[in-house]
Structure 1
Amino acid sequence: MRELRAGSDAVLLDFSTGRAPEAEAAHVAKALRSALHDGALASCDVVLSAHTILVEALPGAGLDELSVLRVVHRARHSFTEARRSNGLPATADLEIPVVYDGADLAEAAQLAEITETQLAATHSAVLWTVQFMGFAPGFGYLVPAAGTSPEHVRTLARITRRTESRPVVPAGSVAVAAGYSAVYPRSSPGGWFLLGTTDVAMWDSAAEPPSRLTAGMTVRFRAAQRPPTEEER
């Protein structure tokens, strides 16, 4: 990890030289946010991207860099130990029920070189980490957490992006592309493969916070049954 000054009130932590930069950065960001919540760090922003974390205090307030680095070093140690033991936490921060009935399930399974049932099982077996937020409010880019089965990672990585994006992807669509997974928080264009749907809202402007996801949290998808239609009741 490299520590780069970003003015007098911020530091940029760069994990790009590590063996698992995405997972390590997400793990450390989660630890920093926990420390903020517990009062172990003075108020600051923790901004996670693919391989970096920007820790920034209010302008002119000065950053307690020593306290930040204490949290970072402890988190990096626990991350290394988890990778050595190949251990994953038993529970996720958020569980999302999914009806695996997506329009692209069959095509995605072909790309992954497994059956549709196996793809749904693989997707729901993985513990996912929110690597960073972007594209639209509430849209989280999820990657397999550190310690995930390498075979699961390779299988999901075979699913690239669609050759042609859809002009409209329905809200609640659960999708994958290039090793990532996501839930579309609202109707929008999209080029990912749609595996299924969920009724869990990813964004609620009246809630606090409005986004169900935050960078660094863990997510597990759970296979669910499609609710019966009025005709079927």
Structure 2
Amino acid sequence: MSTLRTLPVGEHALLVELENGEAAGALHAELLRRRAAGTLPPVREIVPAARTVLLDGITDPRALAAELTTWRIPPLETGAQETVEISVRYDGPDLADVAALWEVSEHEAVRIHSAAEFRVAFCGFAPGFAYLTGLDERYAVPRRDTPRTSVPAGSVALAGPYTGVYPRPSPGGWQLIGTTDAALWDPHREPAALLTPGTRVRFVPGAAR
């Protein structure tokens, strides 16, 4: 089992720190599984992040913290969930720069990105913005030296080990490699976010404009 550390947050919450994002994702999946099975003590919210999971609305945080140290948490299962497919036009202004960083052609960069199976590790920054993992660590890329003052909604982007899709126009410093028409956030939909933590995602190359 991965090493974890629990920290109290107020009177009714715990922050669980783990070794890495994969361990955090595995704990998040196990918490959801146990809650669905009715074997998890009452927890109002389960919020994953890069290397932590926040548990809020706990009746007895100390008891749950002690229980967590006894769990055997299985690794994340590949392909265990339905996969959301997002059609992408790989027409981003930074695609050539990303291909150069990867030392491949633009065509090969598209193939690498679209061949990967992604998973939503956590959400943040803006409603509907998901941080997706799935690319090999050798494909991590730096953020732009100078962020853009406005990134169009639907921009598919890379930064560090993550892929993300901007749900609305906003400033941003990620490397833009493509565009999608998918609605990442719709307040009239349940859930409003298309991509929620744990969701499997594949990017499918579509026709360029």
Same fold (TM > 0.5): yes
Summarize the Cα distance change of 1:198–1:40 in structure 2 as closer, same or farther, 3 Å threshold. farther
Superposition map of 1:13-92 within 5 A? 13-15=16-18, 18=19, 21-41=20-40, 42-57=42-57, 61-63=59-61, 65=64, 69=68, 73-74=71-72, 76=73, 78-79=74-75, 88-89=78-79
**Partner of residue 143 from structure 1, selected from 116, 133, 152:** 133
SS of residue in 1 equivalent to 2:137: helix
Query: 2:13 corresponds to which residue?
Result: 10
Structure 2, gaps ≥5 residues long? none
Structure 1 residues 191-202: aligned runs within 5 Å: 191-202=173-184
User: C-alpha distance in 2, partners of 1:163/1:184?
Assistant: 19
Unaligned runs of 5+ in 1: 228-233
What are the residue-to-residue correspondences of 1:202-217 with 2, within 5 Å? 202-217=184-199
Say yes or no: does 1:165 pair with 2:109: no
Q: Is contact 1:92-1:220 (8 Å) kept?
A: no
Q: Is contact 1:92-1:127 (8 Å) kept?
A: no
RMSD over aligned Cα atoms: 2.6
The 3 A distance-change label for structure 1 pair 200 and 39 is: farther
1: distance between equivalents of 2:182 and 2:66?
Answer: 36
Q: Kindly tell me: are residues 90 and 110 of structure 1, through their superposed partners in 2, closer, same or farther at Cα, counting changes over 3 Å?
A: farther
- In the alignment, is residue 221 of structure 1 matched against residue 206 of structure 2? no
Cα distance change on mapping 1:3 and 1:43 into 2, 3 Å? closer
List structure 1 runs of 4+ shifted beyond 4 angstroms.
Answer: none
- State the distance in 1 between where 2:109 and 2:186 align: 30
Q: 2:93 aligns with which of 86, 93, 103?
A: 103
Identity of aligned residues (%): 40
Aligned counterparts of 1:185 and 1:197: Cα–Cα separation in 2: 11
| 2:169 aligned partner | 187
The residue type equivalent to 1:36 in the other structure is: R
Aligned-partner Cα distance in 2 for 1:10–1:100? 42
Cα displacement (A) at 1:192: 0.9
1:188 and 1:73 map into 2 onto residues whose CA distance is: 41
Greater strand percent: which structure? 2
Q: What whole-Å deviation, never above 9, does each CA across 1:76-134 have from its counterpart, x for those lacking one?
A: 2x21xx6xxxx732765422121111111111111121111111111112222222211
SS of the aligned residue for 2:28 comes to helix
> Which amino acid letter does the alignment assign opposite residue 6 of structure 1?
V
- Indicate the SS of the match to 1:205: coil
Q: 1:153 aligns with which of 115, 137, 140?
A: 137
Aligned length in residues? 204
Distance 1:50 1:211 in 2: 18
> TM-score, length-normalised on structure 1?
0.77
- Post-superposition offset of 1:170: 1.0
Distance in 2, matches of 1:93 and 1:27, equals 18
SS at match of 2:71: helix
Q: Distance in 2 between matches of 1:187 and 1:11?
A: 34
